Chain A
């Protein structure tokens, strides 16, 4: 009897000694991963691109929005994470000399025109659906139950949202579809609702209209970075006309930003500060502004791809050396490996693999240990029984 008790205690002790790996809490591991590289804690990216104008002569606003759309898609945000609001009456307009195409650059000097409309765009709100009410409902998430998921902003508290608006504007207002206006206060309140509902991690608000900087002057929610094309009482100008299309095809500010973006790819480490430093009155022809007082990270540490791209992060896994049968899994440290991710995906793989590694290293010895213990146990039991 006493022998049994002692022997079982010894075994419990042995088991405790053999038990390995106490993990740090999963939450702190995940947080450490997402905060590294000054990533700011976002895991996915969304973009809301709004062209608030309609009619043929506002061709350039459509081209602005489509240019941003193309850039954002190129840098990795998938259509499922982009909400594109366009009046969409330009590409198939009777006046369009190039039907089914929208260009953002003129064809003079024999330049190649880049078709932004193409075959592969997904417009979520088109025509008369682009209203102030729909825009505010989209941002705040207070949509009718019948609204399909593709038209909702399904962000969470670790989403970085890029909001781009273009159209005709004025002092603290933006004209929607020649019909109604949204004011800077509406935008500020919508963003505050988003903040209260944990619908964003950080917002980058870009606006290209006349007197654009007034539109972001009323925002009061944290983690918002804003930039606009012109100051109060200042107009924003278009960049160039196209003689074949007959109207202006792109606005200066958006053109400037898109030119900058052409030099950016998914692996770029360029920061927002780099973008803002390129603003000059000569190239934009208005005083573009930046508002960063609500933004908690330093601008030179905030990457362009934090807002414009869908960048996946991965980590290296040390090879499992014991067993030659498994090929060593080496995932080299890439940023933006696959465009399948809309954001930095946790390769908590690294930590997971290291825990697996610990499991694997021990398992043959573990199994033999357990079998040995079992055999010893059986031996003791049956020898005891012979005595009984």
Chain B
């Protein structure tokens, strides 16, 4: 078992020297218009040649990535592949750190399994091989959680601010992060009734720090592009959905066949739909904010505007950090089979629609719905189990609701 992780890491680095990227870079499952690496390359090219990359309409990446990739990060293969492999390693390490902080386990006995659940998850390493920037987002997300678990306010909120600049729905993680900063990350699922240690003053201070970090990153973006166009082009993409490329999410199909006069209304509905999950999840899991972040991540992964496979993949990998819920999962096999089903159907129907031409978009969207159902089953099961842990066994008697 000790060799598993070094082998996985070595394998991951070895894979970055192959040319597997070339066959995966345009895949609609692994990348979305917001995360696609060829689009990033195009934007950087335009930027370097003095043309505003946001004026074209195919480039939706944040100016942060634009500035980094046009200066310090070279684009000669295999350096981006190595960079993505390093991000994977960082993410796996962060996940293991989260486990250590949560379980107060210094021995690192389970580290291998946790890191393995991240590195060997095909939903995560395939987009990473395709150089989808969602892997960078995952790395930022997990490091932000590590800082939050350690109680380091400013680094955690700074990383979350950078993440929000790359992917706007991540701004919804702010409330549970603020909660997590002020409590210990250890599992409190079993002790749901204890008083929350959250203070209003410290929360407001955290919000303010987050606002400063967001504006700092905005200032960096302003310096990069010299204007405020990027706000409309990057964040506005998730809100206005200009690009209807197929992806594993639920938005694109709806909006391809929508009449124009309904568009604003449904865009509002879909965006507000994301908002409505934040408050209930945080309130219900205020005793264990790390679990709240976990559940919220799963929900956002299903309903975000431009997801890739790595968003629900992160959710599935993070389950390994919460082993206390495993006994209480009601239908893990059904969820697993649904995921198996979806993961077989998605590439099949995608190819049937776009490569062979014998299917149509409905096939692919149906497999996307199955995938959404699989993720939904996973999230609801984990939510149930997280709540069920609080009841547990008392006095040797199984507590059952009448």
Residues of A within 8 A of B (CB): 4-5, 8, 11-12, 14-15, 18-21, 320, 322-323, 325-326, 356-357, 359-364, 366-371, 373-374, 377-378, 381-382, 384-385, 388
Q: Name the one of B52, B70, B147, B215 contacting A359, with C-beta atoms under 8 angstroms.
A: B52
Asked if B225 lies at the interface with its beta carbon under 8 angstroms from chain A, I say: yes
Residues of B within 8 A of A326 (CB): 49-50
Interchain Cβ contacts under 8 Å between A and B, 15 examples: A4-B154, A4-B209, A15-B222, A323-B49, A356-B50, A356-B51, A364-B48, A368-B67, A369-B223, A370-B64, A370-B221, A373-B220, A373-B223, A374-B220, A382-B155
Do the beta carbons of A20 and B226 come within 8 Å of each other? Answer: yes
Residues of A within 8 A of B49 (CB): 323, 325-326, 360
Residues of A within 8 A of B330 (CB): none
Chain B residue nearest to A388 (CB atoms) is B152
Interface contacts beyond A359-B51, A373-B223: sample of 5 additional A-B pairs, CB < 8 Å, sorted by A: A359-B52, A359-B226, A364-B71, A371-B67, A388-B152
| Cα(A366)–Cα(B217), bound, Å | 14
Do the beta carbons of B224 and A367 come within 8 Å of each other? Answer: yes
Asked if B68 lies at the interface with its beta carbon under 8 angstroms from chain A, I say: yes
User: With A381-B158, A385-B152, A385-B154 known to touch, is A370 a contact of B67 (CB < 8 Å)?
Assistant: yes
Q: Which of B58-102 contact A (CB under 8 A)?
A: 63-64, 66-68, 70-72
B293 to chain A, nearest CB (A): 20
Asked if B153 lies at the interface with its beta carbon under 8 angstroms from chain A, I say: yes
Residues of B within 8 A of A (CB): 47-52, 63-64, 66-68, 70-72, 147, 152-155, 158, 209, 212-213, 215-217, 219-227
Q: Name the one of B47, B153, B217, B222 contacting A367, with C-beta atoms under 8 angstroms.
A: B47
Residues of A within 8 A of B154 (CB): 4, 381, 384-385, 388
| Cα(A371)–Cα(B220), bound, Å | 8
User: With A5-B212, A8-B215, A388-B152 known to touch, is A370 a contact of B50 (CB < 8 Å)?
Assistant: no
Residues of B within 8 A of A356 (CB): 50-52
Q: Which of A364, A374, A384 has the most CB of B within 10 A?
A: A374
| Shortest beta-carbon contacts, A-B, top 7 | A360-B50, A370-B67, A370-B224, A367-B67, A370-B223, A385-B155, A370-B220
Q: Name the one of A19, A368, A385 contacting B71, with C-beta atoms under 8 angstroms.
A: A368
Residues of A within 8 A of B220 (CB): 370, 373-374, 377
B311 to chain A, nearest CB (A): 25
Do the beta carbons of A21 and B155 come within 8 Å of each other? Answer: no
B291 to chain A, nearest CB (A): 24
Q: Name the one of B51, B64, B155, B223 contacting A366, with C-beta atoms under 8 angstroms.
A: B223
User: With A359-B52, A374-B220 known to touch, is A8 a contact of B212 (CB < 8 Å)?
Assistant: yes
| Cα(A363)–Cα(B227), bound, Å | 12
Do the beta carbons of B226 and A366 come within 8 Å of each other? Answer: yes
| Cα(A362)–Cα(B225), bound, Å | 9
Do the beta carbons of A363 and B212 come within 8 Å of each other? Answer: no
| Cα(A369)–Cα(B212), bound, Å | 19
Do the beta carbons of B219 and A12 come within 8 Å of each other? Answer: yes
Residues of B within 8 A of A14 (CB): 219, 223
Q: Which of B66, B68, B71, B219 has the most CB of A within 10 A?
A: B219
Q: Which of B48, B215, B223, B226 has the most CB of A within 10 A?
A: B223
A200 to chain B, nearest CB (A): 32
A131 to chain B, nearest CB (A): 40
User: With A19-B226, A370-B67 known to touch, is A320 a contact of B50 (CB < 8 Å)?
Assistant: yes
Do the beta carbons of A388 and B153 come within 8 Å of each other? Answer: yes
| Cα(A362)–Cα(B51), bound, Å | 11
Do the beta carbons of B227 and A377 come within 8 Å of each other? Answer: no
| Cα(A382)–Cα(B159), bound, Å | 11
| Cα(A144)–Cα(B47), bound, Å | 50
Residues of A within 8 A of B52 (CB): 356, 359
Residues of B within 8 A of A8 (CB): 212, 215-216, 219
Do the beta carbons of B225 and A366 come within 8 Å of each other? Answer: yes
Chain B residue nearest to A362 (CB atoms) is B226
B165 to chain A, nearest CB (A): 11
| Cα(A351)–Cα(B219), bound, Å | 27
User: With A11-B219, A385-B155, A388-B154 known to touch, is A357 a contact of B50 (CB < 8 Å)?
Assistant: yes
Do the beta carbons of A19 and B227 come within 8 Å of each other? Answer: yes
Residues of A within 8 A of B70 (CB): 363-364, 367
User: With A20-B226, A374-B67, A385-B154 known to touch, is A15 a contact of B50 (CB < 8 Å)?
Assistant: no
Chain B residue nearest to A384 (CB atoms) is B154
B56 to chain A, nearest CB (A): 12
B180 to chain A, nearest CB (A): 16
Residues of A within 8 A of B224 (CB): 366-367, 369-370
| Cα(A4)–Cα(B50), bound, Å | 33
Residues of B within 8 A of A368 (CB): 67, 71
Residues of B within 8 A of A19 (CB): 222, 226-227
Residues of A within 8 A of B209 (CB): 4
Residues of B within 8 A of A384 (CB): 154
User: With A378-B158, A382-B155 known to touch, is A361 a contact of B226 (CB < 8 Å)?
Assistant: no
Residues of A within 8 A of B213 (CB): 381
User: With A5-B212, A371-B68, A371-B71 known to touch, is A361 a contact of B223 (CB < 8 Å)?
Assistant: no
